Structure 1
Amino acid sequence: MRHKIFPYLILLPTLVFLFAFTYFPLLRSAMDSLFDSRMASSNPPFVGLQNYQRLFEDAVFWRALLNNLAYILMTVIPGIVLALLLAVALWENTSLNRWLRTAFFFPMIIPLVSAATLWLFIFMPGMGLLDYYLAKFFGPMNNNYLGMSNTALIALSVIGVWKFAGYYMLFFLAGLQSIPASAREAALMEGASRTQVFFYITLPLLRPTISFVVTIALIYSITQIDHVAVMTQGGPNNATTVLLYYIQSLANDTHDLGKASAATFITLLLLFAFSVLNLRVLERGAHHER
Structure 2
Amino acid sequence: MSLAGASAIIDGVQPGTALSVRRRKLRLLPYVLLAPSLLFLALFTYLPVLRVLVESLWDKPHGTGAAAHFVGLGNFAKLFADPAFRQAALNNLVYAVGVLVPTLVLALAFALAVQRSTRFSSVLRTVFFFPSLVPLVAAASLFFFIFLPGVGLLDYYLGKIGLQGPNWLGDSDIALWSVIGLTVWKNAGYYMLFYIAGLQNVPRDTVEAAMIDGANAWQRLRFVILPALAPTTAFVVVIALIQLLTNVDHVIVLTRGGPSNATNLLLYYIFQSAHENFDYGRAAAATLVSVAALLALSLGSLRILERGAGGHG
Q: TM-score, normalised on structure 1?
A: 0.95
2:69 & 2:112 partners in 1: Cα distance?
57
Aligned: 1:114 with 2:138: yes
Counterpart in 1 of 2:10? none
Quote the Cα distance in structure 2 between the aligned partners of 1:135 and 1:4: 72
Query: CA shift at 1:16, angstroms?
Result: 2.1
The offset of 1:41, in angstroms, is 6.1
Q: Partner of 1:51 in structure 2?
A: 75
* Equivalent residue number for residue 245 of structure 1: 268
1:184 and 2:207 matched: yes
- Residue 15 of structure 2 is matched in structure 1 by none
Q: Distance in 1 between matches of 2:126 and 2:49?
A: 37
What displacement does 1:43 show?
Answer: 4.7
Offset at residue 150 of structure 1 (A): 0.2
Counterpart in the other structure of 2:307: 284
| Matched residue, 2:175 | 152
Shift, 1:24, TM fit = 1.9
Distance of aligned partners of 1:183 and 1:142 in 2 relative to their CA distance in 1, 3 Å threshold: closer
Deviation at 1:25, TM superposition (A): 1.8
Partner Cα distance (1:207, 1:263) in 2: 32
Which residue, 254, 264, 269 being the options, matches 2:287? 264
The separation in 1 between residues aligned to 2:296 and 2:146, in whole angstroms, is: 36
1:30 to 28, 32, 53: 53
> What CA distance in whole angstroms lies between the structure 1 residues aligned with 2:242 and 2:152?
31
Distance 1:285 1:159 in 2: 31
Aligned residues: 287
Within 2, Cα distance between the matches of 1:187 and 1:226? 46
CA distance in 1, matches of 2:52, 2:203: 46
Match in the other structure for 1:105:
129
Could you list the per-position Cα deviations for residues 64-122 of structure 1 after superposition, in whole angstroms to 9, with x for gaps in the alignment?
A: 00000000011011111110111111111111111211111111111111100000110
Q: Which 5+ residue runs of structure 1 have no aligned equivalent?
A: none
Partner of 2:5: none
Per the alignment, residue 27 of structure 2 pairs with: 4
Q: Distance in 1 between matches of 2:189 and 2:158?
A: 26
Q: Percent identity?
A: 48
Per-residue CA shift, 1:194-241, capped at 9, x if unaligned? 221111111100000000001111111111110100110100010010
**8 A contact 2:234–2:305 mirrored in 1:** yes
Q: For residues 142 and 86 of structure 1, what CA distance do their matches in structure 2 show?
A: 29
Structure 1 counterpart of 2:29, one-letter code: F
2:250 equivalent in structure 1? 227
Cα distance in 1 for partners of 2:186, 2:141 equals 13
Indicate if the aligned counterparts of 1:208 and 1:287 stay in contact, CA closer than 8 A. Answer: no
Structure exhibiting the larger radius of gyration computed from Cα positions: 2
| Gap runs ≥5 in structure 2 | 1-23
| Correspondence 1:71 to 2:95 | yes
TM-score, normalised with respect to structure 2: 0.88
The root-mean-square deviation of aligned C-alpha atoms, in Å, is 1.6
- Asked if 1:161 corresponds to 2:179, the answer is no
The yes-or-no answer on 1:198 pairing with 2:221 is: yes
Q: Against the structure 1 CA distance between its residues 287 and 177, is the aligned structure 2 distance closer, same or farther, given a 3 Å change threshold?
A: farther
Write out per-residue CA displacement over residues 146-184 of structure 1, whole angstroms, 9 at most, x where no aligned residue: 001000000000011000000000000000012221221
**CA deviation after TM superposition for structure 1 residue 60, in Å:** 0.3
Query: Is 1:61 matched up with 2:90?
Result: no
Looking at structure 2, the residues matched to 37 and 105 of structure 1 have their Cα atoms a distance apart, in angstroms, of 46
Q: Alpha-carbon deviation of 1:12?
A: 2.1
2:219 and 2:246 map into 1 onto residues whose CA distance is: 37
